[in-house]
Amino acid sequence: MSAATADTLPQQRRKPVKVGKVASRGLFFLLVGVILLYILFPFYWAARTSFMPDSDIYLTPVQYWPNNFTFQHYINAFSETTFVRSILNSAIVGISATVIAILVGSSASYALARFNFLGRNVALYLILAMSMFPGISILGSLYTVLQRFHLYNTLYALIIVYLTFSLPLMVWIMQSFFRGMPRDLEEAAYVDGASQFQTFWRIMIPLAAPGLATVGILTVMGCWQEYLFALSFLLSSSKWTVPLAIANTGANQASAFQIPWGDQMAETLVVMLPLIAAVLILQRRIISGLTAGAVKG
């Protein structure tokens, strides 16, 4: 889609109010300013904290700009091998889980959307019921299952768990997506002799790309941030994902009681920036994906 497309989608058009137009425009931009401030202030605070020595954080009066600007935390972040390695681990887990979830989820969604078969409703409700499960409730049993399959302390464990937990949302969005698409193309494909699977793979999947991109982003972001399962199923620090590595950062403080704020903030920002860049590039896809039939309820 070209850059102009998203902007030319149907929009609210208002008849300009002549009286107080400048005032209402000014108020509008004030609102925009407040929104931006609200969204970005904690991010600014994290950045500020990452550029100042830890001991300065506790001083009053509060420093809005660091008095003792320092890059030390970033140097620490990059020299901590656990952290650098965790970025790789999180990328592997996130991408694998997302790719497999997309394949599994879109297959299931297509089946549920397009075919009527015995147990269809049951399957749909079962899948959606998963979004009800609190992670903490099944932690112990899940640990036992993973142990039995010798998956404890492996990245595979996280991949399987993350992909399963992203299935409900994926199926939810994709199956209403598929349902919203006209059947002509599939029928034409059948007439041409394509099998059901070829139709699905060659036609439906490419068309569903915007929706898939959306759920893909959501899943990757979720995997990137998940803490509880990662904490419970990984033992070696070489297997850690990013949240674990950051929360357990600590090569540089003297005692176990201290929290290395600056290092943690630096690491968080380092991790965040590529994520944001990726999301910025794909944000049009996200919105068009959500627009193109997903949010029909």
Partner 1 sequence: MERDDRLGREMTRFLRNWSRRDFLRRTGQAGALLATGSGVAAFLEACGTGSSSGGGASSTVNTSGLPAVPTVASDVVAVAKKSSGKTLVVSQDPSGKGGQVAKLAAAQFEKDTGVKISYVVAPSSTSDLYAQYQRVFTSKASTPDTVNIDVVYPGAFGQYLADLKSVPLAGDLAQKSYPSLVQNDTVSGRLVGLPYQGDFGFLYYRTDLLKKYGFANPPATWQELTDQATKIQAGERAASPNFYGFVFQGNAYEGLTCNAMEWFVSNGGGNIIDNGKVTVDNSHNVDFLNLAKSWVGKISPSGVTAFIEEDSRNAFTTGSAAFLRNWPYVYALAGDPKNSKIVGNFDVAPLPHGPGGESAATVGGWQYGINGQSALKEAAAAWITYRAGPDFQKYSAINTTVPPTMDAVSKDPDVLKANPWLSIQTNRVVRPSKLGTKYNQGSTFIFQAVNGVLRGGDAKSALGQLQTSLQSLLG
Partner 2 sequence: MSSRPPAGAAVAEGAAVPARRRRVRSLEASNARFAYFMLTPALLCLALVAFYPMVNTIVTSFTNSTFGQNTTNFIGLDNYTKLVQDPAFRTSIWTSVRFTIITVVFEFVLGLIVALVVNSSFRGRGVVRASMLIPWALITVISAAMWKLMYNQIYGVFNDILVTRIHVLAANVDWLGSPATALPAVAAIDIWKTTPFIALLLLAGLQLIPGDVYEAADVDGAGKIRTFFSITLPLLMPSILVAVIIRALDALRVFDLFYVLFGQRPDTTTMSIYVQEQIIYFGKVGYGSAVSVALLFIIAIFIAIYIMMSRWSVARS
Residues in region 191-230 near partner 2 by CB under 8 A: 191, 196-197, 200, 221, 224-225, 227-228
The Cα 225–Cα 251 span in angstroms is 22
CB of 68 to partner 2, least distance (A): 16
The verdict on 7 binding partner 1 (CB under 8 A) reads no
The rounded distance, in Å, linking the Cα atoms of 81 and 79 is 6
CB 180 within 8 A of CB 211: no
- Which of 22, 117, 206, 256 is the binder for partner 2 (CB under 8 A)? 117
Tell me if 120 contacts partner 2 by CB under 8 A: yes
CB of 130 to partner 1, least distance (A): 23
Of 216 and 243, which has the nearer Cβ to partner 2? 243
Amino acid (one-letter) located at 107: S
From partner 2, partner 1, none, interface partner of 258 (C-beta below 5 to 8 A by class): partner 1
Q: Which of 3, 4, 39, 254 binds partner 1 (CB under 8 A)?
A: 254
- How many residues of this chain bind partner 1 (CB under 8 A)? 59
Interface with partner 2 in residues 95-114 (CB under 8 A): 103-105, 107-108, 110-112, 114
User: Least distance in Å: CB of 125 to partner 1?
Assistant: 29
Gap between the Cα atoms of 184 and 16, Å rounded: 43
Q: Which of 91, 230, 248, 243 is nearest to 154 (CA)?
A: 230
Write the interaction track for partner 2 spanning residues 124-163; mark x where CB under 8 A is met and - where it is not: --xx--xxxxxxxxxxxxx-xx--------------xx-x
Residues 156-185 close enough to bind partner 2 by CB under 8 A: 160-161, 163-165, 167, 169, 171, 182-184
Footprint on residues 74-93 left by partner 1 (CB under 8 A): 82, 88-89, 92-93
SS (H, E, C) the chain: CCHHHHHCCCCCCCCCCCCCHHHHHHHHHHHHHHHHHHHHHHHHHHHHHHCCCHHHHCCCCCCCCCCCCCCHHHHHHHHCHHHHHHHHHHHHHHHHHHHHHHHHHHHHHHHHHHCCCCCHHHHHHHHHHHHHCCHHHHHHHHHHHHHHCCCCCCHHHHHHHHHHHHHHHHHHHHHHHHHCCCCHHHHHHHHCCCCHHHHHHHHHHHHCHHHHHHHHHHHHHHHHHCCHHHHHHCCCHHHCCHHHHHHCCCCCCCCCCCCCHHHHHHHHHHHHHHHHHHHHHHHHHHHHHHHCCHHHC
Site for partner 1 in 106-145 (CB under 8 A): 143-144
Q: Which of 7, 22, 65, 67 binds partner 2 (CB under 8 A)?
A: 7
Nearer to partner 2, 254 or 281 (CB): 281
| Among 65, 182, 281, 296, contact with partner 1 (rule: CB under 8 A) | 182
Helices 261-291 and 81-114, axial angle in degrees (round to 10): 20
Choose the stretch contacting partner 1; rule: CB under 8 A; options: 11-19, 27-35, 50-58, 278-286. Answer: 50-58
Question: Binding residues for partner 1, per CB under 8 A?
Answer: 53-55, 58-60, 82, 88-89, 92-93, 95-96, 99-100, 103, 143-144, 147, 152, 154-156, 159, 181-182, 184-185, 188-189, 192, 194, 198, 201-203, 206-207, 231-232, 235-240, 248-259, 292
